[in-house]
Structure 1
């Protein structure tokens, strides 16, 4: 299967030096499932031509907000709607989770309750999963077709399913401990409270359940139950 990765941002240079850009992170996350990948630099206005150009799509995270005024966002939203209408599988992570919700009629805001950072527990489809988080924005209004399949006390709409073709989650299964360490040290300082960063640092050694999400993503792309 050929999976298109829609890059809505780029990793920090220090992260790219260690782990590659976001497309490399997803290729690593889904290694062994038999997928081939092609990258589209959407944040720099490089788009696919049609939903069936690939067998499935991933929309990555981004430093940008879904509600911000950028020229690449409206065409991306149009593509999301076309992909959903064409029944082509799509997965959204963090910003991807948010922009899909917004494109299909939901609402995304900068959450006044603050940030989720580092290892965080979620109830996703009946499983207690520890996943790395890095976000303030949240989906606060659901699209009509969205079904909540994951949440916690901080983020009520942490994972959503649209029919059987679109699967989106707020946390980052593609982020490992080293990526989180870079974010804490390079982006977090001065942006987030020191005690929250310290807590996230202490959780770096805790094993995450990214493999569970990788398997779920693969099943969405293969249209398995």
Structure 2
């Protein structure tokens, strides 16, 4: 795409928490990991820490919105989270493109009538394969991806029931709702496109004592870490989608 005459697009990153101190010291925080993928011309990105309160801006002030992961749990329904949920619900109604990751994926589902809670089989963490459903083959973000690809994950809660009229796009053997779309332009992904291999590995190192208690092998999970270029490409694909929408 020739961007020389394109208007600047405005993206908000709703930051829904802070990572482990060990990760923050080495790699920065959640928003930093998104920004590392968004060095794109004609793109203005603003980080909004919603744990201090829902955005004071209106959804229509933005051309697109990312929602980060969080150590919080959607089912706790903390006031800041519920306020952000209502804001996201309004954004969906306004047709503002949204891309929610992990907690953001779950919060988007909660905002639009889905059910979020602890996964009945416990934690999913490490690099695992994501499988696309047939519906993904015509989806604006997923249609050019392979039918299966590796992605980084770490979560205890999941979308247990999708919102009514949600389109299920991806799954795996552990998690039936790895990705979905609401309407024409709001996506949630349970996996982490923004993670690098180093970030995933450090998560596993920090989690190791808990993983052993849960009968998960940190060493095996570490050995299975791999590059996830297809998953990561979704961040730029979303920005490209937002740009196309803004030019209509």
- Structure 2 residue 112 is matched with structure 1 residue 92: no
1:68-127 CA-partner distances (Å, limit 9, x unpaired)? 031102211110111011111111000000011011000011012122111110013352
Number of corresponding residues: 223
Give me the TM-score of the superposition, normalised by structure 1: 0.91
Q: CA deviation at 1:31?
A: 2.6
For residues 1-225 of structure 1, the aligned pairs below 5 Å read 1-32=9-40, 34-45=42-53, 47-124=55-132, 125=136, 127-192=147-212, 193=214, 195-204=216-225, 206-209=226-229, 210-223=231-244
SS at match of 2:210: coil
- The corresponding residue for 2:140 is none
SS at match of 2:99: strand
1:121-180 CA-partner distances (Å, limit 9, x unpaired)? 001335211010001211111111310011111111110011221011000011111111
**Contact 1:42–1:72 under 8 Å retained in 2:** yes
Task: Specify whether residues 164 and 21 from structure 1 end up closer, same or farther in structure 2 by C-alpha distance, changes over 3 A only.
Answer: same
Q: Distance in 2 between matches of 1:166 and 1:46?
A: 19
**Which has the greater radius of gyration?**
2
Segments of 5+ residues of structure 2 without an aligned counterpart are 1-8, 138-146
Q: Distance in 2 between matches of 1:212 and 1:116?
A: 22
Give me the TM-score of the superposition, normalised by structure 2: 0.83
1:39-77 CA-partner distances (Å, limit 9, x unpaired)? 111112252321012211111101111110311022111
**Contact 1:117–1:196 under 8 Å retained in 2:** no
SS at match of 1:67: helix
SS at match of 1:138: strand
**What is the RMSD computed on CA atoms of the aligned residues?**
1.8
Task: Specify whether residues 164 and 182 from structure 1 end up closer, same or farther in structure 2 by C-alpha distance, changes over 3 A only.
Answer: same
